[in-house]
Amino acid sequence: MSNVSINIDGKEIVTQEGEFILNAARANDIYIPAICYLTRCSPTLACRICLVEADGKQVYACNAKAKEGMNITTTTETIEKERRAIMEVYDVNHPLQCGVCDQSGECELQNYTLEIGVDSQSYTVQDVDRASHDWGHLHYDPGLCIVCERCVTACKDMIGDNSLKTIARGGDPLNAEYKESMPKDSYAMWNKLNKSVIGLTNGTDVLDCTSCGECAAVCPVGALVSTQFMYKSNSWELKSIPATCGHCSAGCQISYDVKHTSVHNPDEKIYRVMNEWNYVSLCGAGRYGFDYENRDVVKDEVAFVKALEAFKKADTIKFTSTITNEEAFILETLKNKFGYKLVNDEAKSFQTFLSDYSAVSGTSLYGSDLKTSMNSNFIVSIGTAIKTDNPNARYALNNSLTTNKGAALYFHPLADPVVDDMSKNIVSINHKPLQEETALYLVLDLFADKSKLPTDIVEYLASFHSTKTITVTETIKEKVIQIVKEMKVNEETGEEEEVEVEKSKMVPKKVSKEVEVDDNRLLSMLGMADDFMETFAKLMKKKDTFSMIVGPDLYNHPNSKNLARLVALVEKYSEFELIMIPTLTNTLGVAMINELSDTAGSYAVGYNTDADFVLSGLGEGDLDMPAINQQEGTLTSINKSVNPTNAALPYGGYTLNDIANALGLNAENTIDYTVELGSIDGFKAEAFDDLPDHYTNAGEEIRGYKLESLSTSTSSDENVIKIDEALGLDGAIIYLANPVRQFTDFTKNTTNLDEKSGVYMSTEALEASELNEGDSVSVKTDNGELTANIVCDTKIAGNITVLPTFDSKLNSGALVNGYRFANASIQKV
Amino acid sequence: MEQFNNRNVADNGYFMVDIEDYPTDGWGKFKRVIDRTFKLELFVGLWVVMREMIKFDIHTISYPAEKMPIGPRYRAVHEMKRLWESDAERCIGCGLCEKICISDCIRMDTKIDEESRKEVTEYTINLGRCIFCGYCAEVCPELAITHGGEYEQASEQREHFIDYDYMLTPIDVMKQNAQKEFEGFGAITPHEDERVTKTPLSY
């Protein structure tokens, strides 16, 4: 993409060729009204209010692309008339009860009506009955809907659920006179608007989606609102606390909207979560899982003294990665001072994976971020149940497929209908568990630059190829000449006699041909379709930016070291930009800050995890700790950025910093350690209060700072182990993954996220078995056994049974040996 | 009410009082001191009081047995009005009074009720903070919150005045069609109909 300069309202601006005029204008602080356009999604062209004049021609700023030397006027007399007419049309039959609308005060219809100055109405049409619908977690009021289709666009282009569509409204057509009397575009817009409302694609009246609520967030009016927030509070009463979501490693920027609980209770309460939906999309856990705070905690001095005793007695600190960088730093400092062993298995495996990766790649961190994936047009995902491991990675995948005309390969044993439904250009390869190496070798084979790749790997890859002769049946049309006897009148004699006539016709005929084709044994090892290479050739057309997402399945794989090296080779010798999904919220931060041990000692203090003495933000331990939404601090995200988060709710108890101070450290607040993070490679010495937290109009994320990827010393050793073809689990398999919207015990503690914990089976697996939803089953592996009820999960397919990790009471982790898959027997009890 | 609708004060029997300017120079000020000292103005006032006392022309009223009539625009303790049509409460819980209140003394809780309508579950006005500015009555789109004539705010408990039920028109008053509309802040101004542009309708 080259830079071009265009002129908008006399201002020379430089933008990329092919950028939409609207985005170019916004990036340069030039205002063009627009309702239906969503940054990062494809233009909808529903509102038509972004009309501008480009080189004397009226175009829509949201879908007209910038060309060198373009001259743009954002407003002319005709455009003003169009905009005025459009806003009048939107106000036709729109209810005037703004007082009881949840959007009032932040409503784009209110804003634009006032801005355009609509003080009288010229148009009218009889309305149809537009009763409201309760769609489950969302409430839709078609009477308020202006059918800008932003919800449909967000669901299709960003989220990938494709749950919403426009359906027919019925009712009177517009008065024919308007076609003559109205401005052209506003009539066309009204004509379309008057025929449609929003409906569900599944044909029922209840949403069956991944419940992210993004459609309600983008709704400019009060048509789509979250049922949990409806009529709870006016927007202007709420105070926004900028924060970073603490549920997964995506580290989305959110704001907690807080207000006093009620007339009688002045304590602050979180009413909802908002986001900058033009630049960041939340998942259901981020949006609805906000009330996980540790409530009504007071300073329990007895417990605090016991905690100090426990710290003096302990030789190990166990913790999870749902902590801030500062807390991780405190733990590290305590470790250095008192020689504790720090134990965090999941961060340890990620740390090991990263260092194995660095040994080949020469960089301490993977090279890319989710924004790069979103802007690429070919994505390969290996080793992650993408929609639940990191919903933002899923959105990046879907956005690349839909808006960049992208294609993708999704390698994962667990069949996922959500991923399959994103696009027809995504190929899911549901290989056997433990075959991740084969998948990576295939990626090397398909994409790596063989001229640079180490020769032994090239040779090894070549060993999978053979030519085979296959019989291809083709249908060809053949000319067939037949001799037909006909009765004809002999002209000379006048008698009828039999003559032979030649007739030709085209007849389809099947021909078998023997052709020599390349046979790649890697494909059959992974159980891929025979015609994959043809599909692949189609997918690869016009692709130039490649991105690879790898996930937690690889970190705990028995051959994780080899996988890390293969991943590094893919990044090094192909065009792929690499991104790794850290397992939990701050796994990346912990992996960088802490020196972790493999095994625990004799007496352990646990932070949010089981141990001899438990500090818990969940409110069930020996000493209470604040949850992430009650803390100031920084979290390290998948995008390698250190994001600040603020305390949305007050917390009255002791914090880890209080314990550290009592043990001889000295810091007034936990965030005093933010600047000290600079002593760790990759982090910067920046004070918490200096960290920025916003998006620019150009969509640039200015939050905290980016981790520096340091170059590490590498040996020239790029050896990788060959595939052990015996690897691969068959039979009944369990997989550790959470249902959509659940991550940890913190999400389980929230009131709005009501996913049942249990043994998740797909509809087809349940139908094939003799089990029913609700049955109590015992799941038994070589490592352990648990008993729980079956939950039917419509968001998975295939025969693999999924066990959640968000419910620590289930203790599903004890069933596997690190690697997330295991053979298991499932018996009804 | 016509007298209140007419806001031209000059028509209502007001007149300018002829008052001399105060002296500015030293001599003028000296003359004023001498005047005031020897004119015995005090006794002028005392004489007026004695004259009226003898005439038994009493101008005060015996409060609290007697009370002065209060102007319909007087802004005393708030009232919550009901709809004439259905006797239902007018308040829709829009929160504009809460927002506009400059002494931040109004709070309300709302929720969605069984019929999917917005319901006000709690409504309080902290009269200890209220400055009776009338903004809440003015901003109210439903003429639900208004001021009333109840200016007596002595009580053992301030809470006695912030009770929603206390402010709400009692249902028996409503049944007798005895609810009084507030004529002050927020009331519909005269000739409103002439100023409104009608919206075309296809019904």
- A454-499 pLDDT, tens digit each: 999 999 999 999 988 877 777 777 777 777 777 777 766 667 777 7
Select the residue of B112, B122, B141 nearest A99 (Cβ to Cβ). B141
Q: Any chain A CB within 8 A of the CB of B197?
A: yes
Q: Any chain B CB within 8 A of the CB of A230?
A: yes
Q: Any chain B CB within 8 A of the CB of A176?
A: no
Select the residue of A98, A124, A237 nearest B200 (Cβ to Cβ). A124
> Is B71 domain-assigned?
no
pLDDT at A262: 93
Contact between B98 and A119 using a beta-carbon 8 Å cutoff:
no
pLDDT at A532: 92
pLDDT at B8: 63
Contact between A234 and B122 using a beta-carbon 8 Å cutoff:
no
- State mean pLDDT over A517-541: 91
Q: What residue type is A375 in one-letter code?
A: N
**A-to-B residue pairs, Cβ atoms closer than 8 angstroms:** 62
Secondary structure element (H or E) that encloses residue A278, with its range: none
Please name which of A796, A798, A797, A804 lies closest in space to residue A820, comparing C-alpha atoms: A804
- For β-strands A3-8 and A71-73, DSSP reports them as parallel
CB atoms within 10 A of CB A679: 11
Give yes or no for residue B47 having a pLDDT over 60: yes
Which tokens is A189 given? 């817009």
CB atoms within 10 A of CB A224: 25
Calculate Rg over the CA atoms of chain A: 31
- Tell whether ipTM is more than 0.95: no
Which of A482-496, A533-547, A675-689 shows the lowest mean pLDDT across its residues? A482-496
Closest residue in A to B92 (Cα–Cα): A100
Give yes or no for residue B1 having a pLDDT over 60: no
Select the residue of B98, B111, B201 nearest A232 (Cβ to Cβ). B111
Give yes or no for residue A677 having a pLDDT over 60: yes
Q: Any chain A CB within 8 A of the CB of B126?
A: no
Residues of A in contact with B164 (CB under 8 A): none
Which tokens is B5 given? 């609708």
Which of A48-57, A209-218, A797-806, B16-25 shows the lowest mean pLDDT across its residues? B16-25
Residues of B in contact with A126 (CB under 8 A): 202-203
pLDDT at B52: 86
d(CA A83, CA A79): 6
How many structural domains compose chain B? 1
Select the residue of A98, A132, A263 nearest B122 (Cβ to Cβ). A263
User: What does each C-alpha distance from A246 to A380, A644, A747 come to in angstroms?
Assistant: 27, 11, 10
Q: Any chain A CB within 8 A of the CB of B109?
A: yes
Residues of A in contact with B116 (CB under 8 A): 132, 134, 139
Give yes or no for residue B11 having a pLDDT over 70: no
- State mean pLDDT over B57-82: 87
Q: How close does chain A come to B113, measured CA to CA in Å?
A: 9
Which tokens is A685 given? 């010495």
Determine the residue among A263, A265, A271 to mutate to test chain B binding: the one whose Cβ has the most chain B Cβ atoms within 10 Å: A263
Most confident of A216-220, A263-267, A710-714: A216-220
Q: Any chain B CB within 8 A of the CB of A232?
A: yes
Question: Beta partners for B123?
Answer: B108
> Is B183 domain-assigned?
yes
Read off the CATH number of the domain in which B92 is found.
3.30.70.3270
pLDDT at A231: 94
d(CA A366, CA A348): 17
CB A403 within 8 A of CB A157: yes
CB A52 within 8 A of CB A61: yes
Tens of pLDDT, residues A706-760: 999 888 887 778 888 999 888 899 999 999 999 999 999 999 999 999 999 999 9
Helix A184-193 to helix A77-91 angle (10° resolution) is 20
Tens of pLDDT, residues A566-601: 999 999 999 999 999 999 999 999 999 999 999 999
pLDDT at A355: 94
Residues of B in contact with A124 (CB under 8 A): 199-202
Contact between B201 and A124 using a beta-carbon 8 Å cutoff:
yes
Which tokens is A796 given? 């998975």
pLDDT at A75: 94
Residues of B in contact with A113 (CB under 8 A): none
Contact between A126 and B202 using a beta-carbon 8 Å cutoff:
yes
Tens of pLDDT, residues A420-450: 999 999 999 999 999 999 999 999 999 999 9
> Is B31 domain-assigned?
no
d(CA A435, CA B180): 81
> Is B150 domain-assigned?
yes
Range of the domain at B132: 78-187
Residues of B in contact with A139 (CB under 8 A): 116
- State mean pLDDT over A639-652: 96
pLDDT at A497: 72
Contact between B92 and A100 using a beta-carbon 8 Å cutoff:
yes
> Is B106 domain-assigned?
yes
Q: Any chain A CB within 8 A of the CB of B108?
A: yes
Residues of B in contact with A132 (CB under 8 A): 116
d(CA A504, CA A487): 18
Q: Any chain A CB within 8 A of the CB of B42?
A: no
Cite the DSSP H helix spans in A106-200: 108-116, 150-153, 177-181, 184-193
Residues of B in contact with A233 (CB under 8 A): 110
Residues of B in contact with A232 (CB under 8 A): 110-111
d(CA B105, CA A535): 68
> Is B202 domain-assigned?
no
The pTM (predicted TM-score) of the whole model is 0.89
Contact between B110 and A231 using a beta-carbon 8 Å cutoff:
yes
Residues of B in contact with A234 (CB under 8 A): 94-95, 98-99
Contact between B112 and A230 using a beta-carbon 8 Å cutoff:
yes
Task: List the beta strands (DSSP E) in A103-175.
Answer: 133-134, 138-140, 164-168
pLDDT at A76: 95
Coil, strand or helix at A358: helix
Say how many Å lie between the first and final Cα of chain A, rounded: 62
CB A585 within 8 A of CB A635: yes
Residues of B in contact with A231 (CB under 8 A): 93, 110-112, 118-119
Question: Beta partners for A821?
Answer: A735
pLDDT band at B6 (very low <50, low <70, confident <90, very high): low
CB A204 within 8 A of CB A113: no
Mean pLDDT over all residues of chain A? 93
Closest residue in B to A174 (Cα–Cα): B202
- As to burial, measured by CB atoms within 10 angstroms (0-12 exposed, 13-18 middle, 19+ buried), residue A531 is exposed
Secondary structure element (H or E) that encloses residue A216, with its range: helix A214-218
CB A505 within 8 A of CB A457: no
Q: What residue type is A555 in one-letter code?
A: Y
pLDDT at B165: 85
Instruction: Give the distance, in angstroms, between the CA of residue A235 and the centroid of all CA atoms in the same chain.
Output: 27
d(CA A596, CA A492): 110
Contact between B94 and A100 using a beta-carbon 8 Å cutoff:
yes
More confident position, A773 or A494: A773
Q: How close does chain B come to A228, measured CA to CA in Å?
A: 10
More confident position, A432 or B192: A432
Give yes or no for residue A501 having a pLDDT over 80: no
pLDDT at B3: 60
> Is B45 domain-assigned?
no
Contact between B122 and A264 using a beta-carbon 8 Å cutoff:
yes
Q: How close does chain B come to A692, measured CA to CA in Å?
A: 30
Residues of B in contact with A264 (CB under 8 A): 122
Coil, strand or helix at A188: helix
Coil, strand or helix at A98: helix
> Is B67 domain-assigned?
no
Q: Any chain B CB within 8 A of the CB of A267?
A: no
Q: What residue type is A548 in one-letter code?
A: M
pLDDT at B35: 86
pLDDT band at B9 (very low <50, low <70, confident <90, very high): low
Task: List the beta strands (DSSP E) in chain B.
Answer: 78-80, 106-112, 118-125, 145-147
CB atoms within 10 A of CB A765: 22
Contact between A234 and B95 using a beta-carbon 8 Å cutoff:
yes
Q: Any chain A CB within 8 A of the CB of B122?
A: yes
Q: How close does chain A come to B121, measured CA to CA in Å?
A: 10
d(CA A733, CA A739): 17
Q: Any chain A CB within 8 A of the CB of B116?
A: yes
Give yes or no for residue B32 having a pLDDT over 70: yes
Counted residue by residue, chain B has a size of: 203
CB A625 within 8 A of CB A607: yes
Q: Any chain B CB within 8 A of the CB of A31?
A: no
Determine the residue among A110, A234, A267 to mutate to test chain B binding: the one whose Cβ has the most chain B Cβ atoms within 10 Å: A234
Q: Any chain B CB within 8 A of the CB of A236?
A: yes
Give yes or no for residue B59 having a pLDDT over 80: no
Contact between A234 and B197 using a beta-carbon 8 Å cutoff:
no
Residues of A in contact with B111 (CB under 8 A): 231-232
Please name which of A55, A54, A53, A61 lies closest in space to residue A78, comparing C-alpha atoms: A53
Residues of A in contact with B93 (CB under 8 A): 99-100, 231
pLDDT at A514: 81
Which tokens is A417 given? 């209908």
- Find where tokens 């003495």 sit: A613
Q: According to the 3-state scheme, what is the secondary structure of A367-381? A: CCCHHHHHHCCEEEE
Tens of pLDDT, residues A108-154: 999 999 999 999 999 999 999 889 999 999 999 999 999 999 999 99
Tens of pLDDT, residues A346-377: 999 999 999 999 999 999 999 999 999 999 99
Select the residue of B109, B116, B141 nearest A263 (Cβ to Cβ). B109
Residues of B in contact with A262 (CB under 8 A): 109, 122
Please report the domains of chain A, with CATH numbers, ordered by start residue: 358-580 (3.40.228.10), 733-828 (2.40.40.20)
